[in-house]
C-alpha cells in the first residue's frame, strides 16, 4: 500500500536511484524508488510514512539534480496531477497526451 510517495519530474536519465536515495533518504526511511517505463524522466520515491513526504519536501530545497531543473510534488493516486500548462510539459508528454486523446475520441465515435 502506498504510504506516501513523492514524484520528481524532469530527472535526467543519468541520475541513479542511489543518488536519489542519498538526497531524499536523509530525512526518513525510503521504501522504494521507481520509474515508469513510458516516462523515464519521472521518478517516484515512496516512504514508509506519509508524513515523511512532507518532511522531505520542506527540508530539501533542491531545484536541480544532474544539471536539470526538477520539480518534486506529492504523488496522487491514479497519476492525477495538477493541470499543466504547455510550459510544464516536454515535447514527448504533449505528443503522448494528444495521441491518447485522439485514440479516445476515435474509439468513442464508434460506440
pLDDT score for 110: 45
User: Does the pTM of the predicted model rise above 0.85?
Assistant: no
Per-domain residue ranges of the chain: 5-75
Are residues 71 and 8 in contact, defined by beta-carbon separation less than 8 angstroms?
Answer: yes
Per-residue pLDDT, 85: 45
pLDDT of residue 18: 92
pLDDT at 96: 66
- The CATH number of the domain covering residues in 5-75: 3.30.70.330
Output 1 or 59, whichever has higher pLDDT.
59
Residues 6+ apart with CB under 8 A from 45: 5, 6, 7, 8, 20, 24, 30, 32, 33, 56
Amino acid at each position: 500500500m502506498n504510504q506516501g510517495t513523492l514524484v520528481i519530474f524532469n530527472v535526467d536519465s543519468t541520475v541513479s536511484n542511489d543518488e536519489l536515495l542519498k538526497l531524499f533518504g536523509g530525512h526518513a526511511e525510503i521504501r522504494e524508488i521507481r520509474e515508469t517505463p513510458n516516462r523515464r524522466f519521472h521518478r517516484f520515491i515512496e516512504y514508509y510514512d506519509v508524513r515523511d513526504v512532507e518532511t522531505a519536501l520542506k527540508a530539501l530545497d533542491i531545484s536541480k539534480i544532474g544539471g536539470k531543473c526538477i520539480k518534486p510534488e506529492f504523488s496522487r493516486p491514479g497519476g492525477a496531477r495538477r493541470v499543466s500548462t504547455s510550459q510544464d510539459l516536454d515535447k514527448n508528454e504533449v505528443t503522448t497526451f494528444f495521441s491518447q486523446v485522439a485514440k479516445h475520441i476515435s474509439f468513442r465515435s464508434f460506440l
